[in-house]
Structure 1
Amino acid sequence: MIEWMEDLYAMDLNTLSPYIRVAWDSTLYPPVHLAERVIFDYELLFIKEGECEVVVDGNLYRGIPGDLFLFKPNQPHSLRTMDDRPLRQPHLHFDLYYRDDSPEVPVSFKPYERLSEQEKRWLRPDDLRDFHPPLPSHIRLNKPEAIEKLMQDIIFEFDRKFPYYETTAKGLFIQLWVLLLREIHWQRNPHLLSNREQLDRVKSYLSHHLHRDATLDELAELANMSKYYLCRLFKKAYGVTPIQYHVSVRLEKAKEMIRFTDLSLTRIAEELGFQSIHAFSRAFRMREGVSPSAYRKLR
């Protein structure tokens, strides 16, 4: 079950198949000015040490230790060191989805007008274009240590090239990507972060009380907030209302009981607190597209 945020619905994370092109912990020694360029793929650049000025699509950002930059395909950007301190910048170049030509595509250092026709064909589509609001180019991380560790783990795999390192790096990248999306979501919704403990308490309560209906009044009391505010926050955090979530986890339990026990459907409905076998069947069909009896025949 997808439990995250409206932003994530713009991307099917189940199909994510990243191709990591470059994984490098590099240091630039001032003075350095990387002139405006576009890249064919995506890049995540973490500021480990030093400071810099970064221009993305004409917008100026100051990068300090703990900051992360996300550059997208064909997005003009440039970088300049700000003082005499070295700029240490672990960074990754990647495709979010593997393509037939992924292994052939290099890293670009040219502006768009200097690209050859072949190089223009290497420009990846922006797979993040449907995010609303768009993912930011500059992210001041609340927990930079977690992001940096995953980036360094990926870099380590590419440096050592142990057997299956590319597959290991893909798994690490997916963890990194989800962590980054969560970070951005919490930053955009600080009211969810400040109420996260209450939301987790309600969610845990519902997951452990599958034997009966739950009411908004009791959940609001548990969370110590109004039921209207609870519904709004819960749906913003998990994509469904508390009652919809409760029905969902009860039906997941019902599927398990139908498949792996010989209990009658009436008994299953009773144990999961549905008012009748008819109410249970109706809810099951709405969610699964088949009746409980038809689902049992599939096992």
Structure 2
Amino acid sequence: MQDTKKFLNSYNEEDHFIALNNQNVYVSYSGDYSENPIYHVHNSCELLFIEEGEAEYRIGKNYYHIGKNDVLVVGGTDPHSRKFTKVPCLRYGLAVIPAFMQSLPIINGYMNVYRTQSQEDALKLKNIDDAVFKRMIGIIWQLRDETAGDEEGRGDMVYALLLELTIALKRLLNLERQDVSGTYKIMSDIKSYIDFHYSEELSLNALSSLFYLQPNTISKNFSKVFGKNVNAYINSVRVTNAVRILEKSNVSITSLSEMVGYTSVNTFLRQFREKMNVSPLQYKKRFEQYLADSDSRRQF
């Protein structure tokens, strides 16, 4: 395998955050010596492979301690933060957009791999056999090369690598393949609709009219398939995209709330604070300070 050390932290933080929200498959290799307590969220599912060091991640209300040869899955639109408990903390990151993964044959039956695991299931991804872990890292670096290049058959190779990684993770998690027809497909279609139409009117009644299903049927089956209440998911997508807008532009809170689909500024502020633990303006200031601190560290 190629010498990865030369790629350590070889990305711009601002570009990094943009990629986490817009790139179907994105690979990073990072190492930190100081804490970064920023609480953030993005559209992609992020998989972290720890090569050295230890860290504690908070995802929602749950805490996950990870160390060497551990993998942590952070589901898309799930707010999270981190602190390093043993430095340097060197980790490979693979970010994938769930809607893209769901479009891939076979992989679409294992989308439960790409969600935040329960604390109990997360234990299955700790202290992974060295040979298995190294193979997964090899896949990540092959993905990095393929997504950065333009060789013939690039798309097929990316799919093949993602499929191998998915199967390896599903084996560790002991997950069964989901039936992608029937209820699962309908709920997936509803989820995709929310992902792309979050700025429009969205409610159980609106979705009921669009998909010709009773609100209670949507509510029950969406939670069963994705482990999230449909209204909670709508708010998660809206807040995630509000964060994305805050990170790259300056807009008023009123305009921001309208851009992500809220008709009430107060509802938007309440939902944002509930998800991110800070107000939109506080997040904006913390994010800008984080970028400034990152630039300062790179100068030394």
Normalising by structure 1, we get a TM-score of: 0.43
Q: Which has the larger radius of gyration?
A: 1
Normalising by structure 2, we get a TM-score of: 0.43
